[in-house]
Amino acid sequence: MPAMNMIQALNHALDVMLARDPDVLIFGEDTGYFGGVFRVTDGLQAKHGLKRCFDAPISEGGIIATAIGMGAYGLRPVAEIQFADYILPAFDQLVSEAARLRYRSAGEFWAPITVRSPYGGGIFGGQTHSQSPEAIFAHITGLKTVIPSNPYDAKGLLIAAIEDDDPVVFLEPKRLYNGPFDGRHDQALKTWAGDPRAEVPEEHYTVPLGKAAIEREGADATVLAYGTMVHVAAAGIAESGVDAELIDLRSIVPLDIETIVASVRKTGRCVILHEASRFGGFGGELAALVQERCFYHLKSPIERVAGWDTPYPHAFEWDYFPGPARLAKALARCMER
């Protein structure tokens, strides 16, 4: 099985789907000839032709509107939004249209579209190349939101998203494209080479939407994370010395509530970790659900470790970014109580 970084795994997923399903096509800003600013669509136009993979005008609303129309016709478009920060001009299309087509038309029309977008921080991208907008999608009825944390999942989840008949926002943690990153920014860069999660089969396979992965088993606390934060969490758990169970949610809608609840009932403690700013973030929903369903098992308050309630601040990336030390502290606090 070849080792792939996340960019290669995603590229592979697209390649497989283009070859397999003539209804799949790919477009976005710079995704055609150039192959995307992060190279995820590299080589696909050359291999599959201009009709299957092409460039779009700089118009995120137009890109999603076009994709919805294609989806309504019967195609399975995969649109790339260059940075998740730039999904916002298309937010109305996603919410008022893509997410609502099936419901309001009583099943006459639907939007089997996938919207891929690099998200998250850790690359010194500043305010508008670093944000994590997952919470505003999670609240939208009719929209699925998927976030892989490694190459194997990235390929399998992306194929599942494309094959899904509902609109999927597929957020790619850009800090993980070239290697796992545990938040220790002062250490040497790691690549995916040698990581078992980077062994990616050549062929078609799926990782089902809505199934979390238990990344590490543990007895004393549960850590909920997704995307880059899965790696940060692993480092933070190690640093804390707490025997914590680490759950990689993989998709936040649909959410694997069973795995979460079973774990917290077992451990009695829960820490939620995400990059997005804390207030109103997806951690709130997770905390609410956990305390609703595990109240009598909880030994200490559910903690949220997250970005501060400020815009993403360029020079203060590592002050803002919720790294392993902050998670370790939260775990320690849980254990003390």
Partner 1 sequence: MRDLPFGLVRVLDEAGQAVGPWNPRLEADTLREGLRAMLLTRAFDERLFRSHRQGKTSFYMKSTGEEAIGVAQSMMLGREDMCFPTYRVMGWLHARGYPLIDMVNQIFSNANDPLKGRQLPILFSARDYGFYTLSGNVGSRFGHAVGWAMASAYRGDDKIALAYIGEGTTAEGDFHEALTFAAVYRAPAVLCVTNNQWAISSYSGIAGGEETTFAAKAIAYGLPGLRVDGNDFLAVWAATEWAAERARSNLGTTLIELFTYRASGHSTSDDPTKYRPADEAAHWPLGDPVERLKGHMIALGEWDEARHAALIETLDTQVREAVKTGEAVGTLGKSKPSVAEMFEGVFKEPDWRVVEQRRELGI
Residues forming the site for ligand TPP (CB under 6 A): 29, 58, 82, 86, 89
Shortest distance, position 1 Cβ to partner 1, whole Å: 30
Range 98-117, binding partner 1 (CB under 8 A):
100-110
Q: Which of 157, 161, 292 is nearest to 226 (CA)?
A: 157
Position among 3, 214, 238, 257 found at the interface with partner 1 (CB under 8 A):
257
DSSP assigned state of 205:
-
Position among 80, 85, 275, 303 found at the interface with partner 1 (CB under 8 A):
85
Range 68-97, binding its own copies (CB under 8 A):
85, 88-89, 91-92, 95-96
Position among 21, 124, 191, 193 found at the interface with partner 1 (CB under 8 A):
124
Backbone dihedral angles phi then psi of residue 68, each to the nearest 5 degrees:
-60, -45
Instruction: Please tell me the distance from the alpha carbon of residue 174 to that of residue 121, in angstroms, as a whole number.
Output: 7
Which residue has the closest beta carbon to ligand TPP? Answer: 86
Binding string to its own copies for residues 109 to 128, with x set by CB under 8 A, is what? ------------------xx
Inter-residue contact 210 to 150 (CB < 8 Å): no
Residue recorded with tokens 């850009």? 174
State the binding partner of 34 from ligand TPP, its own copies, partner 1, none, CB within 5 to 8 A by kind: partner 1
Among residues 12, 129, 231, 274, the one annotated as catalytic is 129
Shortest distance, position 300 Cβ to its own copies, whole Å: 7
How many alpha carbons lie under 13 Å from residue 119 in its C-beta half-sphere? Answer: 31
Residue recorded with tokens 């032709």? 49
314 catalytic? Reply is no
Backbone dihedral angles phi then psi of residue 79, each to the nearest 5 degrees:
-100, 140
Stretch of 3-11, 45-53, 99-107, 171-179 contacting its own copies, by CB under 8 A: 99-107
Range 196-215, binding partner 1 (CB under 8 A):
210
Is residue 284 a contact point for its own copies (CB under 8 A)?
A: yes
Q: Which of 72, 129, 119, 135 is nearest to 98 (CA)?
A: 72
DSSP assigned state of 302:
P
Residue 180, helix vs strand vs coil: coil
Q: Which is nearer to partner 1, 32 or 236 (CB)?
A: 32
Containing H/E element for 112? Answer: none
Position among 126, 201, 268, 301 found at the interface with partner 1 (CB under 8 A):
126
Is residue 297 a contact point for its own copies (CB under 8 A)?
A: no
State the binding partner of 319 from partner 1, its own copies, ligand TPP, none, CB within 5 to 8 A by kind: partner 1
How many alpha carbons lie under 13 Å from residue 313 in its C-beta half-sphere? Answer: 12
Q: Which is nearer to ligand TPP, 75 or 88 (CB)?
A: 88
Stretch of 114-122, 153-161, 213-221, 274-282 contacting its own copies, by CB under 8 A: 274-282
State both tokens at 68.
């919805």
Stretch of 21-29, 31-39, 108-116, 272-280 contacting its own copies, by CB under 8 A: 272-280
Rounded to 5, what percent of the chain is helix, strand, coil?
40, 20, 40
CB neighbours of 28 closer than 8 A, spacing ≥ 6? 36, 41, 55, 56, 63, 79, 80, 81, 82, 116
Instruction: Please tell me the distance from the alpha carbon of residue 254 to that of residue 53, in angstroms, as a whole number.
Output: 29
Residues labelled as active-site residues: 129
Q: Which residues bind its own copies (CB under 8 A)?
A: 85, 88-89, 91-92, 95-96, 99-100, 103-104, 127-128, 135-136, 138-142, 253, 276-277, 279-289, 291-293, 295, 298, 300-304, 309-311
